[in-house]
């Protein structure tokens, strides 16, 4: 686990070092999802995106969720995002994600494969801040909705 966290921070630092003005963003989002067998779950998502060109970004995300009883889930994923139409890293986007879905339940750890697709809208708030309502669907989580906020640098 410590090696995974170190690898994520290393990638953030490396990509940030090569970032041009306002091409990198870091965000945080409260999320409502189906990361539970029998009920809904609440979570918090952290994301890092780096723009490759005006309409494409790649990045990493990690979501931690709980059903507030016995199940905890960690979702690290690679993300690929395309803004529609080319509008300089704002507006409507579609996003694919690929990663792991790690369930912590009653002392057991169950790793699963995570794949998803989603979409949302990035509203710029001034020159560096943004807010993004989004929804995502996939396996094994079924669906999630949230609102991300963050900074671009």
Q: Transcribe 79-100 into DSSP letters.
A: EEEEEES--SS-EEEEEEEEEE
pLDDT of 146 reads 97
Quick one: which of 2, 17, 81 has its CA closest to 47?
A: 81
Domain boundaries, the chain: 2-152
pLDDT digit string, tens, across residues 26-85: 999 999 999 887 788 999 999 999 999 878 999 999 999 999 888 999 999 999 999 987
Helix, strand or coil for residue 23? coil
pLDDT of 35 reads 86
Give me the mean pLDDT over the 100-105 stretch. Answer: 95
pTM to 2 decimal places: 0.81
Supply the DSSP string of 30-43, one letter for each residue: EEEE--SSSS-EEE
In eight-state DSSP terms, residue 55 is: T
pLDDT digit string, tens, across residues 121-151: 999 998 899 999 999 999 999 999 999 999 9
For 2-152, CATH number out of 1.20.120.450, 3.30.930.10, 2.40.160.20, 3.50.50.60 equals 2.40.160.20
How sure is the predictor about 7, in pLDDT bands with cuts at 50, 70 and 90? low
**Paired sense of beta strands 142-152 and 71-84, if any:** unpaired
């Amino acid at each position: 686990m410590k090696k995974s966290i170190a690898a994520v921070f290393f990638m953030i630092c490396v990509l940030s070092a090569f970032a041009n003005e306002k091409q990198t963003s870091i965000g945080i989002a409260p999320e409502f999802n189906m990361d539970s067998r029998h009920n809904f779950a609440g979570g918090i998502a952290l994301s890092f995106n780096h723009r490759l060109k005006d309409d494409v970004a790649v990045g990493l995300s990690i979501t931690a969720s709980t059903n507030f009883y016995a199940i905890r889930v960690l979702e690290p994923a690679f993300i690929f995002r395309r803004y529609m139409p080319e509008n300089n890293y704002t507006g409507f986007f579609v996003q694919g994600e690929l990663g792991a879905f790690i369930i912590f339940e009653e002392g057991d750890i169950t790793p699963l494969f995570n794949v998803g697709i989603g979409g949302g809208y990035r509203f710029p708030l001034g020159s560096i801040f943004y807010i993004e309502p989004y929804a995502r669907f996939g396996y094994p989580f079924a669906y999630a909705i949230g609102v991300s906020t963050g900074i671009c640098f």
